[in-house]
């Protein structure tokens, strides 16, 4: 009786170990930089910032009316140079991208766009980083998908590339019936 019980109990630590190993292994594959956005589903915070291109004052209104990307970049950000060609490609495919020049100098930013091409339909200047703070931005690049109501639908931290587009952005656009997401 006692022996039979002992036989089964011997496996408890093993089962526990395997369960823990599976749990921890599933965490290993995750990118710790990718934090869940606290703003998903919320409207873009109110702001009033100048445009890099026209100098006019822009508000959160500019981010309503259509599906568009909000790309946070800066000339100081190495990864922004890497993703820039892909942003140009997206723009060529008709994806409206609003840029947010984050903690940057206007002159440098204009030179950058003149030199590497401008994928943006508009560029918001966030020189002091306060809009970035309101958006929960903690670096660049970051890319937000904004719906026509001006709500943040998703946020991508790091380089924008075909994989991020195909896996994250396109499915949402497809589901919304937007042709930019590709065929249903």
Partner 1 sequence: MNRLFPLFPALALTLCALLLASPLRAAIDIYQFDNTDQQDRFHRLTEELRCPKCQNQSIADSDAEIARDMRERTARMIRDGHSDQEVVNFFVDRYGDFVSYRPPVNERTAILWMGPLGLLLLGVLAIVLLVRRASRRAELEEDDHP
Task: Give the footprint of partner 1 on this chain (CB under 8 A).
Answer: 2, 32-33, 35-39, 103, 129, 132-139
Task: Compare residues 140 and 173 and give the one whose CB is closer to partner 1.
Answer: 140
CB of 95 to partner 1, least distance (A): 26
Query: Between 72 and 87, whose beta carbon lies closer to partner 1?
Result: 72
Distance CA 66, CA 71 (A): 15
| CA angle in degrees (0–180, nearest 5) for 105-86-34 | 75
47 neighbors 76 (Cβ within 8 angstroms): no
Tell me how far, at minimum, the Cβ of 156 lies from partner 1, in Å.
15
Nearer to partner 1 by Cβ, of 63 and 137: the residue is 137
- Of the two residues 77 and 88, which places its CB atom closer to partner 1 in the complex? 77
What are phi and psi for residue 4, nearest 5 degrees? -60, -45
Give the span between the Cα atoms of 91 and 88, in whole angstroms: 5
CB of 87 to partner 1, least distance (A): 22
Distance CA 6, CA 83 (A): 60
Write down the least CB distance from residue 136 to partner 1, Å.
4
Q: Tell the smallest beta-carbon distance from residue 26 to partner 1 (Å).
A: 14
**With respect to partner 1, which residue has the nearer C-beta, 83 or 142?**
142
Minimum CB distance to partner 1, residue 42 (Å):
9
Based on CB atoms, which residue is closest to partner 1, 75 or 118? 75
Segments in the chain forming alpha helices (H):
2-9, 12-28, 78-92, 106-116, 130-135, 162-164, 170-175
Q: How far is CA 84 from CA 20, 71, 123, 170, in A?
A: 42, 10, 14, 19
């Amino acid at each position: 009786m006692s022996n039979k019980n002992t036989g089964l109990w011997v496996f408890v630590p093993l089962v526990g170990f395997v369960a823990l190993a599976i749990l921890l292994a599933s965490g290993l594959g995750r990118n710790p930089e990718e934090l869940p956005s606290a703003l998903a589903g919320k409207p873009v915070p109110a702001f009033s910032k100048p445009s890099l291109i026209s100098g006019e004052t822009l508000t959160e209104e500019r981010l309503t009316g259509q599906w568009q990307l909000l790309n946070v970049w800066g000339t100081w950000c190495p990864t922004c140079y890497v993703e820039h060609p892909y942003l140009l490609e997206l723009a060529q495919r008709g994806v409206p991208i609003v840029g947010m020049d984050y903690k940057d100098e206007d002159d440098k930013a204009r030179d950058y766009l003149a030199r590497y091409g401008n994928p943006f339909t508009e560029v918001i200047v966030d020189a002091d980083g306060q809009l970035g703070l309101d958006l929960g931005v903690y670096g660049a690049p970051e890319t937000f998908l904004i719906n026509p109501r001006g709500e943040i639908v998703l946020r991508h931290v790091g380089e924008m590339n075909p994989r991020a587009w195909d896996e994250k952005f396109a499915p949402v656009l497809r589901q919304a019936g937007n042709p930019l997401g590709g065929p249903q």
